[in-house]
Amino acid sequence: MDDKTTTLQRPFFSSEQVMAGADKMYRQRLSDIERAGYLDKDELFLARIKKVAQVLIQQAAQDFPETRTWQWEIHSSSEHEETAYSMAGGKILLNQLQIERWSLNDAELAMLLSHEIAHAVLEHNRLEYEQALVLFPAWHQRSFEELEDAVDNDESLLRALAPLCKQQEEEADAAGLRLAQRAGFSMISLVNFYKKLSRNSANPNFDSKSHPAPARRWMAMRELALQLSK
């Protein structure tokens, strides 16, 4: 509604600023994981995820030309609590334990990666920061670094941004599925990733404020797959 229009009319941050900030936070995160002894422990696994990611990144370069100059990076963690995530500019982290536990084949892995790539390509970090400023204009008085931190840690900001996060999850699912399909991965396997997500979830029907229920995501992907294959 109005919030969205305001955001679009007033880009508060440049993509470059957000990518530079993301790069710094990513580096910090990687060094923490390395210090804990969980970073890139398995060379074969790392080679596998990089190979699958490469196919998707090449497709993204065709579909989203602005990403051609990005320094994409992908690493793996074998820490139990870690979940897959991506940051502005294509900085991605996957959890090896999750991928092995779910026995993801390459196309299912491609869906996981493509979802993360879609978050980066759609500039979800930047839009989140801008929405925070629209909802809480007082943040204009503070530094960008503080805002970056608050978006991940401040309770009231997290609560206020939850609906946007949920919308971004749905967008990354749909854009990710389209990207991976164009890159040549099997639609059945791409959708099957969401079946595994749902089956491996303790509460597959739980729709939280910030995340759509896994079962609903699976259904949405089945429907999109049907549309795309018509």
Question: Residue 185 in contact with residue 107, Cβ under 8 Å?
Answer: yes
Between 119 and 139, name the residue whose CB sits nearer to Zn ion.
119
Nearer to Zn ion, 139 or 175 (CB): 175
Query: Which lies closer to Zn ion via its Cβ, residue 6 or residue 210?
Result: 210
Provide CB contacts within 8 A for 152, sequence distance 6+.
Answer: 158
Helix (H, G, I), strand (E, B) or coil at 195: helix
Shortest distance (Å) from residue 142 CB to Zn ion:
26
CB of 83 to Zn ion, least distance (A): 9
| Shortest distance (Å) from residue 5 CB to Zn ion | 25
Site residues (CB under 5 A) for Zn ion, limited to 166-185: 169, 172
- β-pairing, 85-87 with 91-95? antiparallel
Which residues ranging from 34 to 63 are in contact with Zn ion (CB under 5 A)?
Answer: none
Cβ 84 to Zn ion shortest distance, Å: 8
Alpha-helical regions (H) of 64-154: 96-101, 106-121, 124-135, 144-153
Whose Cβ is closer to Zn ion: residue 73's or residue 128's? 128
Q: Say what the alpha-carbon torsion angle 162, 87, 84, 97 is, to the nearest 10 degrees.
A: -150
Q: Which residues bind Zn ion (CB under 5 A)?
A: 169, 172
